[in-house]
């Protein structure tokens, strides 16, 4: 089996790395949080000093990081992946970043005769933990075919989208739909609460009709329970919508609903909810303070 390097062991990356260990991959890991690294080492992984060290020890390098600048630094920086990665290796970025950054990294690694894929994911912490993520992949088809066994360990809905950057464009579309739907669910439950209608019954009724969605199912339940422990942080979803708006500008596509939700997320972050789950968007409504 290929030796895998995994950089970024956060809410999503940690469970993903563990799933790779469970099926027998040799894993070298790196994260800024020593506790996250220690947890993986105890499970059988090997730690590394820097991204260059990870790449030097790996046939496949995977990154799962917060934003475009993080990925750029880890991959193209002075001690980055590009400094240690071997000719013929494969790089897979599973972060959510700007499509333009995926293309920049692809071109830089091509000069090293290294294949590269952008493969962002959807499914949250539970999807990462259960190995049921939706993975949307951009890059060369030969690289996708090589990476497919790895993707099968991490996800269930694995879709090759096309050339480099296509995976990230697909992910930004995903984040638009989730964000706007989450706002709709928040508004609907706020209205029901203000009218003193049982929120659990409202959710049950709507799940049986045309309004049914995973957001209403899973996130609606969290809102009703007042469970705002981070499964996906509000600040990260806000970052993703910025990517959506920038991509829309590049393609000359207006995204008015996305812009409104982004502003509401800004309001939530200004109230100190950035580190909480993105469902805290509902807390900008006074009537949900008791939710």
86 tagged catalytic: no
Classify burial at 45, counting beta carbons within 10 Å of its beta carbon; exposed 0-12, middle 13-18, buried 19 or more. buried
Beta bridge partners of 76: none
SS3 (DSSP) at 138: strand
The Cα 92–Cα 6 span in angstroms is 10
CA–CA–CA angle 172, 223, 9 (5° rounding): 50
| Catalytic residue of the set 18, 22, 73, 171 | 171
* 44 CA to centre of own chain: 25
The Cα 157–Cα 279 span in angstroms is 24
Task: Say which DSSP state 251 is in.
Answer: T
SS3 (DSSP) at 286: helix
Closest by CA position to 147, among listed 10, 8, 25:
25
The Cα 6–Cα 110 span in angstroms is 20
Task: Show which residues are catalytic.
Answer: 171
């Amino acid at each position: 089996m290929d030796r895998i390097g995994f950089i970024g062991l956060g809410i999503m990356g940690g469970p993903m790395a563990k799933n790779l260990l469970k099926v027998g991959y040799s894993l070298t890991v790196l994260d800024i949080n020593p506790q996250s690294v220690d947890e993986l080492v105890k499970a059988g992984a090997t730690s590394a000093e820097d991204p260059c060290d990870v790449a030097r020890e790996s046939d496949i390098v995977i990154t799962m990081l917060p934003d475009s600048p993080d990925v750029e630094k880890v991959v193209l920086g002075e001690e980055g992946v590009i400094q240690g990665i071997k000719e013929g290796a494969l790089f897979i970025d599973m972060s959510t970043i700007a499509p333009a950054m995926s293309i920049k990294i692809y071109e830089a690694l091509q000069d090293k005769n290294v294949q590269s894929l952008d493969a962002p994911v959807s499914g949250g912490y539970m999807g990462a933990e259960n190995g049921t993520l939706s993975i949307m992949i951009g890059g060369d088809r030969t690289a996708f075919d090589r990476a497919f066994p790895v993707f099968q360990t991490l996800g269930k809905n694995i879709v090759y989208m096309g050339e480099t950057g296509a995976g990230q464009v697909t992910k930004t579309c995903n984040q638009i739909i989730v964000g706007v739907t989450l706002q709709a669910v928040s508004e609907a439950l706020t209205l029901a609460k203000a009218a003193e209608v049982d929120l659990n019954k409202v959710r049950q009724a709507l799940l049986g009709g045309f309004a049914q969605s995973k957001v209403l199912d899973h996130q609606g339940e969290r809102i009703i329970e007042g469970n705002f422990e981070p499964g996906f942080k509000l600040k990260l979803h806000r970052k993703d919508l910025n990517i959506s708006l920038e991509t829309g500008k590049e393609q000359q596509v207006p995204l008015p609903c996305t812009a409104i939700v982004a502003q509401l997320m800004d309001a939530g972050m200004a109230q100190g909810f950035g580190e909480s789950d993105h469902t805290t968007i509902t807390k900008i409504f006074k009537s949900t303070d008791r939710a």
